[in-house]
Amino acid sequence: MHLPPPPSSSLAAAPTRGLLFNASGRSCRLCPSLQTKEEASIPNPSPFHSFFTIHRSNPPSQSLRFCFPNRYCTKPICRFACASKPDQPFLQQTECLGDWQDGKKGVTWEADQIAEAIGGRLITKGCAGTICTDTRLLDRGEWFLALCGPRLDGHCFQQQALEKGCSGVIARAVPSDWPAGFVQVADTMDALLCIAAHVRKKYSGPVVGITGSCGKTTTRLMTSLALESLGHIHQTHGNLNNRYGVPLSILKMPSCSAACVLELGMNHPGEILELSRVSQPTIRVILNAGPAHMQNFGSVEDIAAAKGELFADAQPGDVCVVNADDPLVMGLFIPQGIRVVGAIFSLLSAFSAALFQAYHVWQLGHLVGNLQFLLNKANAMRSGLCIRKNGES
């Protein structure tokens, strides 16, 4: 296969660690795997990490560069391939698909809007602001939602939130002489799920929900990159894929997002169903079912059934993507009237396995070479000592 030459020298000289370039050829943002520019200096924790870099040129065309670097190698293997046809214009999503006011950290809420969305009681009004659940990350003007976890109770930090200048608090009990805004609810975790579901209902763009025992993050990153030409793609960051993280990810979504890609994780039955009803994916992906979190399940079949809650909750018009290589996924129930797309990953899996094996062979060769070098050096030092001892005697 003939591969086109690399981009111009200005692009070729740019860093290869995931920079995306706009139509003018200037870097506009970092690869999603690096999150933000501030985190660009943080070394990649994975010893073998694959990602993609898109170069856009004018007239509208794209080149997709496949990079397979690792922290031990300073010269990543790169290949260039055509990713679009010249007669297809580059499209950019400009319409706001979310019906809400954007803030610095996501959706901005008035006090009465919060009370209406979660069915709470508005005790005192406060200024409009975004919602935060961690007082360590709380900015002045935000609303603090006091969640109760297995180790900490957010209600113990209400005074700390007030000292940091919060607009108000969403919690169970109203402290005496409370001077800021307050919305009273019976259960703060239910309030978080309800307010995230409220945001999802006000978003008319596509939402991709991805679950599976492994491969969720890689699939999410690749899916987000494939949709980059539509505009801003909001996606899960870090490991926010449980019943705490998914609602928080939705609350951080900008209204101008062209699409939303979410990871849905679980460690007990019913969690995927709960997250599905909150996020309401229009495209539902189940990658596989394997022996993960077995302490809460009797068998791998039980895990597959729990993953299958994502398909069971599908609504007319949704698309279900199944892994045709996994018989447990293929056997899951899908409601009538749902479009089903089967994907075969065996060739890609074989290629990835071969590449990963080649990397480990290369790494093992270096390890053996280093051990041999140290052994030879030790033998040489030992021989020298023996000669000196014989000479002295």
272, 309 contact by CB (below 8 A): yes
Check whether 24 has a pLDDT greater than 70. no
Statement: residue 30 has pLDDT above 70 = no
State the DSSP code for 109: B
The upper half-sphere exposure of residue 305, i.e. CA atoms within 13 Å in the direction of its Cβ, equals: 10
Exposed, middle or buried: residue 20 (CB in 10 Å: 0-12, 13-18, 19+)? middle
Q: What is the Cα 164 distance to its own chain's centre?
A: 29
The C-alpha R_g of the chain, in whole angstroms, comes to 26
pLDDT band at 380; cut points 50, 70, 90: low
Confidence at residue 73, expressed as pLDDT on a 0 to 100 scale: 29
pTM of the model: 0.67
The closest of 235, 239, 265, 233 to 250, measured between CA atoms, is 235
User: What pLDDT score does 355 carry?
Assistant: 52
State pLDDT tens for residues 55-98: 333 333 333 333 333 332 233 332 222 233 333 333 344 578 99
Region 28-34: mean pLDDT is 37
pLDDT for res 120: 95
The answer to whether 109 and 252 are in contact (CB under 8 A) is no
Reduced to 3 states (helix: H, G, I; strand: E, B; else coil), residue 346 is: helix
Q: For strand 121-124 and strand 181-184, is the pairing parallel, antiparallel, or unpaired?
A: antiparallel
| Residue environment code for 40-72, b if the CB has 16+ CB neighbours within 10 A, otherwise e | eeeeeeeebbbbbbbbbbeebbbbbbebbbbee
Spell out the residues 6+ positions from residue 379 whose beta carbon is closer than 8 angstroms to its own: none
Q: Mention every residue, 6+ apart, whose C-beta is less than 8 A from residue 152.
A: none
pLDDT in tens, 319-371: 999 988 899 999 999 999 899 988 765 545 555 555 555 555 555 555 566 65
Per-residue pLDDT averaged across 132-156, rounded? 94
Residue-wise pLDDT tens digits, 224-238: 999 988 899 999 998
Give a three-class secondary structure readout of 28-93: EEECHHHCCHHHCCCCCCCCCCCEEEEEEECCCEEEEEEECCECCECCCCEEEEECCCCCCCCCCC
Mean pLDDT of 253-272: 95
Which structure tokens are listed for 153? 């109770």
The C-alpha atoms of residue 186 and residue 204 are separated, in whole angstroms, by 30
Contact (CB, 8 A) for 124 and 178: yes
Give the mean pLDDT of 199-205.
96
Q: What domains, with CATH codes, occur in the chain?
A: 14-82 (no CATH), 102-193 (3.40.1390.10), 205-345 (3.40.1190.10)
